[in-house]
């Protein structure tokens, strides 16, 4: 996996070990463990990135008054967590009339940790894509002032849409994404496949191993932005999710292993 040694065409090799670049599931009932047993593959879990919240003192430097905005855009659970964390630290009580636009239903439902869901105006895209939530926002854009909580290196497509449609908005940086140290893990384990779940994970790979060469290592990616990051990094993408017949990464891996590991 790491630069140095002759290149070999190992694309036909069976997959026996997979590195999932996320924390290990807390429950043994995770479908990942069923997958490992079914195909007799070794699964290791290790997050390539971690999220660090900006303290309220640093957020204040952005000079954003949260109460000036009538709608909040959430693209992840991290954004939800850190938005309400900042509100709590700054003793800001968000109006019950505030609208929430979420990229997926899962993110929308996650709001229940912080608000009385049934009494609030919560919207989400039908297909989990950026395009889907923008279509919903388009119906409200003339009457709302949008706040877009994000990471320090947030993908800018939503912000570009807000600019193009002349919406009143502010982008609030609430957290940053930091690479974890995975050098030793990759040096001591020769994984047949690495699975990524965000563009930041792909970036972390090359920050840890600048001379990384794919050779026969299979690469999996969840989400269109992650898939794009894999390909932009010059890597071959072998497993892509979600897909029509594979809505989850587990389903995509199962389909791939059923074919590639067939004797």
pLDDT tens sequence across 212-247:
999 999 999 998 889 999 999 999 999 999 888 898
Bridge partner list, 44: 19
Burial class for 7, CB neighbours closer than 10 Å (0-12, 13-18, 19+)? exposed
Q: Is the pLDDT of residue 13 over 80?
A: no
Using the 8-state DSSP alphabet, how is residue 78 labeled?
A: H
pLDDT at 10: 45
Give the pLDDT band of residue 119 (cuts 50, 70, 90): low
Q: Omega before 242 cis (within 30°)? A: yes
State what percent of residues in the chain have pLDDT above 70.
Answer: 92
Q: What is the largest CA-CA distance in the chain?
A: 62
Q: What are the residue ranges spanned by the domains of the chain?
A: 17-48+180-261, 51-177
Lowest mean pLDDT among 104-118, 171-185, 213-227: 104-118
CATH of domain 17-48+180-261: 3.40.50.10090
Q: Is the pLDDT of residue 196 over 90?
A: yes
pLDDT at 153: 58
Q: Is the pLDDT of residue 154 over 60?
A: no
Residue 29 is encoded by which pair of tokens? 């009932």
Torsion of the alpha carbons at 37, 21, 182 and 23, rounded to the nearest 10: -80
What's this model's pTM, rounded to 2 decimal places? 0.71
Which has more confidence, 187 or 155? 187
Q: Is the pLDDT of residue 7 over 70?
A: no
Nearest one of 199, 245, 254 to 222, comparing CA atoms: 199
Do the domains 51-177 and 17-48+180-261 match in fold?
A: yes
Q: From 3.40.50.10090, 3.65.10.10, 3.60.15.10, 3.30.230.10, which CATH number describes the 51-177 domain?
A: 3.40.50.10090
Please give the sequence-ordered ranges of beta strands (E in DSSP) within the chain, or none if there are none.
17-20, 42-45, 49-53, 71-74, 99-102, 121-124, 145-151, 168-179, 193-196, 218-222, 239-241
Contacts of 257 (CB under 8 A, 6+ apart): 15, 35, 39, 41
Considering only CA atoms, give the Rg of the chain: 20
């Amino acid at each position: 996996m790491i630069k140095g040694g002759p290149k070999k065409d190992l694309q036909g090799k069976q997959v026996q070990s997979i590195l999932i670049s996320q924390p290990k599931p807390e429950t043994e009932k995770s479908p990942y463990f069923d997958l490992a047993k079914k195909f007799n593959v070794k699964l290791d879990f290790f997050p390539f990135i971690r999220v660090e919240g900006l303290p309220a003192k640093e957020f204040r430097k952005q000079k954003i008054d949260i109460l000036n905005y009538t709608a909040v855009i959430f693209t992840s659970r991290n954004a939800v967590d850190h938005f309400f964390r900042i509100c709590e630290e700054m003793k800001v009580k968000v109006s019950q009339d505030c609208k929430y636009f979420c990229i997926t239903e899962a993110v929308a439902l996650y709001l229940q940790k912080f608000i009385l869901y049934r009494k609030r105006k919560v919207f989400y895209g039908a297909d989990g894509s950026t395009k889907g939530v923008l279509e919903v926002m388009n119906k409200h854009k003339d009457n709302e002032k949008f706040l877009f909580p994000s990471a320090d290196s947030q993908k800018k497509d939503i912000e570009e849409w807000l600019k193009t449609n002349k919406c009143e908005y502010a982008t609030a940086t609430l957290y940053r994404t930091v690479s974890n140290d995975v050098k030793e893990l990759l040096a001591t384990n020769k994984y047949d496949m690495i699975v990524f779940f965000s563009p930041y994970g792909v970036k972390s790979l090359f920050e840890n191993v600048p001379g990384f060469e794919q050779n026969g290592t299979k690469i999996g990616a969840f989400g269109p932005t992650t898939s794009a990051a894999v390909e932009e990094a010059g890597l071959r993408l072998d497993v892509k999710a979600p897909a029509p017949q594979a809505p989850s990464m587990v389903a995509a891996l199962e389909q791939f292993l059923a074919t590639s590991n067939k004797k």
